[in-house]
């Protein structure tokens, strides 16, 4: 950790010296857009560096360290969705549900159009068997263009919640969106028979 912090301070020191260097004949002024690009580059570099070290801590079971680094990553870049999801997963895996939910909500607030965070939030609620909350999050994930296999979670969770007619409607909608997907066909056939029997 000390080496990581030393490297970050080195990068920040180089950036600061570049920004405060006195003007001379060799230096040329840069446009505001170029200065912004350089700052974004530095921010992205630091975010990636912190994220790499998050994974190192995760693999050796130092989850509190990993969570703290994830929090630093999203401070640098609030659009780094993987850091929200990773930290929230670790939190709820340690039964720190309130903190996990708060982090998911922060991530959604900063990234309202990203399907990934809604999907992961839905997985949390599904794991906790809070079906209605899971369904709501999976629905938002679908609405935000989640990939085909991610979209299976909405009708699948509706089935688990005993909402067969809704599940059947969602499997049919999924098949319309992805006609090449074989999984909805199997569910439609099985659920169709169950719904008929119930009626």
Topology, domain 48-112 = 1.25.40
The per-residue pLDDT for 53 is 74
Q: How far apart are CA 163 and CA 121, in angstroms?
A: 20
Q: Which residue has the tokens 């969770």?
A: 157
pLDDT given at position 40: 67
Within 10 Å of residue 93's Cβ, how many Cβ atoms?
12
List the domain boundaries for the chain.
48-112, 134-199
pLDDT tens for the chain, residues 1 to 199: 444 444 454 445 545 444 555 555 566 777 777 777 776 676 667 767 777 777 888 788 898 999 999 999 999 999 999 999 999 999 999 999 999 999 999 999 999 999 999 999 999 999 999 999 999 999 999 999 999 999 999 999 999 999 999 999 999 999 999 999 999 999 999 887 676 566 5
- Contact (Cβ atoms closer than 8 angstroms) between residue 53 and residue 69: yes
């Amino acid at each position: 950790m000390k080496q990581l912090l030393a490297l970050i301070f080195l990068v920040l020191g180089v950036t600061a010296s570049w920004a405060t260097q006195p003007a001379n004949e060799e230096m040329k002024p840069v446009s505001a857009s170029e200065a912004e690009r350089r700052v974004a580059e530095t921010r992205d570099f630091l975010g990636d560096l912190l994220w790499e070290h998050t994974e190192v801590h995760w693999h050796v079971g130092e989850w509190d360290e990993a969570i703290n680094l994830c929090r630093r990553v999203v401070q640098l870049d609030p659009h780094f969705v993987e850091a929200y999801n990773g930290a929230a997963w670790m939190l709820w895996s340690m039964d720190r549900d309130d903190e996990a939910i708060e982090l998911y909500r922060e991530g959604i607030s900063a990234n309202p159009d990203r399907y990934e965070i809604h999907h992961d939030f839905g997985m949390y609620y599904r794991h906790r068997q809070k079906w209605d909350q899971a369904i709501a999050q999976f629905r938002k994930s679908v609405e935000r263009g989640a990939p085909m296999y991610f979209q299976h979670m909405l009708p699948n969770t509706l089935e688990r919640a005993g909402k067969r007619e809704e599940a059947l409607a969602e499997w049919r909608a999924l098949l319309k969106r992805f006609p090449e997907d074989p999984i909805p066909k199997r569910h439609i056939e099985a659920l169709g028979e169950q719904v008929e029997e119930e009626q």
